[in-house]
Amino acid sequence: MKTAIIGAGAAGIFAAINTKEIFPNSEVIIFEKTSKLLSKVLVSGGGRCNITNSEQSISEFSKNYPRGGKQLKKLLGTFNNQHTINWFEKKRVVIIAEEDGRMFPKSNTSKTIYDLFLSETERLGIKINLKSGVNKLKQIGEKIQLEINGQNFLFDKVIVCTGGSSKKEGFNWLKNLDHKIENPVPSLFTFNIPNEKITKLMGLSVPNVSVSIQGTKLKYSGPLLITHWGMSGPVVLKLSSFGARILDDKNYDFEISVSWSGELNFELVKTKLQSILSENRKKKLFNIRPYNFPKRLWSYLLERSEISEEKPCGEIGKKQLNKLVQIICNDNYNIKGKTTFKEEFVTCGGISWESINTKTMESKHIKNLYFAGEIINLDGVTGGFNFQAAWTTSYIASQLK
C-alpha cells in the first residue's frame, strides 16, 4: 500500500507517523509545498507549543470549537487530549498542564516536539519531499493520482493536511472534485480602537471583564488586555473566534460594550458602589478601589465619567454616580479593524463537514481520500484546542478506514 500525505504541518506529520505505525508494511510519503516542515509547530505557543488542553470533560472540551465542535465531540471519543498526552509520553515527551489548562512539553520548547516528529519519521522510514506542492488530484479507479511539480504519481490512499487558507481560491483543486467549501475567513484576532484614550492603559490586564458585541448575541467574560492598538486577551480572542463570520460580514467595523466589573446589571453595580462610597465618605475617590480595579483603570474610568479623582466619596451627586455606574458596566467603544494576536491565527471555514465521513475522515466524493487538520471547517479558541483538533482528525484519518 502506498500512502501520500499532503502537507508537513502538525496534522500531516502526525498522520504520517500513525499511518506507518498502524501499517508498517506500507510506503508513506509526505509532500510539502515549502522548503520547511512543521513551521507553525516551531513558532506555536510563543515557541513553547501549546499542545493540548487539560479540560477533562469531552463535552466541555468540544465547546471550545465555534466550528466543527459537534463533529469533533464524537471523534474525541476515539482520540482526545488524554490520548495525546499518552501518545507523547510513550515517546518520552512529558506534557505538563498550566493553571489555566494549557498544556506544554515539560522542556517548555516546541523544538522538543519538532525533534520528536523528525526522529520518528526517520525511524519509521517515512519519506519527506519538500518543495513539492500538490495542485491536482484525480481519481483513477480505486487509486488517486497526484500532480507534483509537473509529474504524476499514483497512490492507494491520500490524506490531505494542507492547513487553512485565507483565500477561497486556495481550495479550488478540491472544490473541483465536488467538495463543498465553507468560505474561509480569519479567526483569533484582536480589536483595533483608533484614537481612543484607553490605549494609554496599554499593558494593563483586567481579570474579569464582560464584553459584548452590539447587535449580536456575542458576549463573553474573562481577562481583557489593553494594548497600544486596542484590546486583546482571552475574552477578545474568544469573541473574535465565535464571531469570526459575523465580524467579517461587518468588515471589522462594529461597536462593543464593556462591563469592567464583569457585572452587567446597572442596579447591582449602583448598590455596590453606593455602599462603598458611603463607607468612605471622607476619602478621596482615588483612594478607594471598587471591584479591585487596577489603579490606572480606576483613574481612567473616573476621567471618562468626568469626575475628579480628588473628590471626596461623600460628595458624589446622583447624576455623577449614574454616569460612573454606566461607564463601569456599559462602556462603549467603536472597533475599526483587527490585528493578528502574536502572529497566531486560524482559518474559520474550509472543507465542509457535509463532504466528509465524520467517522473515518474520508471524503464523501473520492474514495481513499481523507482530510485532517485546519483544512477542515474546524477551528478552536486559543489554549491548545487547535492542535488537539489536528491530532484527533489526523489520528482517525490515519486508520485509513
Write each residue from 96 to 135 as x if it is in contact with ligand FAD (CB under 6 A), else as -, in one continuous string: -------------------------------------xxx
Among 254, 293, 353, 387, binds ligand FAD (CB under 6 A): 387
Q: At its nearest, how many Å lie between ligand FAD and the CB of residue 198?
A: 26
Q: What is the DSSP letter of 248?
A: H
Residues 6+ apart with CB under 8 A from 307: 285, 316, 320, 323, 324
Toward ligand FAD, which CB reaches closer, 6 or 244? 6
Toward ligand FAD, which CB reaches closer, 50 or 305? 50
* Dihedral sign from CA coordinates of 104, 108, 111, 117: negative
Run of H or E including 30: strand 27-31
In angstroms, rounded to a whole number, what is the distance separating the alpha carbons of residues 294 and 163? 41
CB atoms within 10 A of CB 151: 8
Determine if 137 is a binding residue for ligand FAD (CB under 6 A). Answer: no
Pull the grid cell for residue 112. 522538543
The interface region with ligand FAD, picked from 174-182, 309-317, 320-328, 337-345 by CB under 6 A, is: 337-345
Among 28, 273, 346, 396, binds ligand FAD (CB under 6 A): 346
Toward ligand FAD, which CB reaches closer, 142 or 343? 343
In angstroms, rounded to a whole number, what is the distance separating the alpha carbons of residues 339 and 290? 31
Determine if 344 is a binding residue for ligand FAD (CB under 6 A). Answer: yes
Toward ligand FAD, which CB reaches closer, 191 or 385? 385
With b for 16 or more beta-carbon neighbours within 10 A and e for fewer, the 265-289 pattern comes to eeeebbebbeeebeeeeeeebeebe
Distance of CA 200 to the CA centre of its chain: 27
Q: Are 326 and 318 in contact (CB under 8 A)?
A: no
Q: At its nearest, how many Å lie between ligand FAD and the CB of residue 217?
A: 26
Determine if 345 is a binding residue for ligand FAD (CB under 6 A). Answer: yes
Window 146 to 185, contacts with ligand FAD (CB under 6 A): 161-163
Window 31 to 90, contacts with ligand FAD (CB under 6 A): 31-34, 39-40, 43-45, 49-50
In angstroms, rounded to a whole number, what is the distance separating the alpha carbons of residues 127 and 134? 16
Give the binding site for ligand FAD (CB under 6 A): 6-12, 31-34, 39-40, 43-45, 49-50, 133-135, 161-163, 343-346, 373-374, 384-387, 390
